[in-house]
Amino acid sequence: MKSGRGVRGDWGTLLTYGLIALAVIIALVCALYFVKFNSGLSNSPEKWSAFGSYFGGVLAPAISLITLFAVLRTIGLQLEQAAHFVSEGEQQRIAEYKACQLQLLDQQITMYDRMIDRYELDGEKLMKYVPTERRAASIAQVDSNLRSAERDIARLIQLSVEVSLSNFNSIEELRQRMASELHAISPTLYATSFS
């Protein structure tokens, strides 16, 4: 099959020309018969029998050839349709995998939100229960953890938007993108998640 034209163009054109040629051949065969035997339409069954044999003998191969073209066109259309279904199925699998990955990102964002809540609660407890002279290092650690979690949430949200707006040609392409981006966000947390 030629790209751009497909089965419909190739076999459809051939079948159309074949049908036109068949109509011309039928008209020519009838005209030759009437010219040769110049008797016009006959009332005699023997002449009709002879005409039928002549007509069938001359036109049967042409009709068979046109039928072959039609069968080949049908097969080509079925192959084209099957290829379309395969492509459509692959796109559906990619879309489903993409939805799962977006759900994973949403869960990760929720997890980081909970971590931020926990760090804020830890900071409040430090302020409330730890003496002033011992709390500076602990508060610095809580602040560092908060900034890190907020940075990771921002990167996860950005990744979620990028994944949802991007088109992927395969599940493997999407999987590799997710693995590399998640590993870049947190190498320790996502070290073995996708490998």
Which token pair is 158? 């950005």
Contacts of 50 (CB under 8 A, 6+ apart): none
Query: Does the predicted model carry a pTM greater than 0.75?
Result: no
- The gap from C-alpha 185 to its chain's centroid, in whole angstroms, comes to 30
pLDDT tens-place string over residues 143-189: 999 999 999 999 999 999 999 999 999 999 999 999 999 999 888 87
pLDDT tens-place string over residues 44-92: 777 777 777 877 887 788 788 878 878 888 888 899 899 999 999 999 9
Which token pair is 123? 């900071």
pLDDT of residue 7: 47
pLDDT of residue 186: 84
Q: Which residues of 65-104 are buried (b: 16+ CB within 10 A; e: fewer)?
A: ebeebeeebeebeeeeeeeeeeeeeeeeebeebbeebbeb
Measured between alpha carbons, how far is 170 from 183 in angstroms, rounded to an integer? Answer: 20
Measured between alpha carbons, how far is 95 from 125 in angstroms, rounded to an integer? Answer: 45
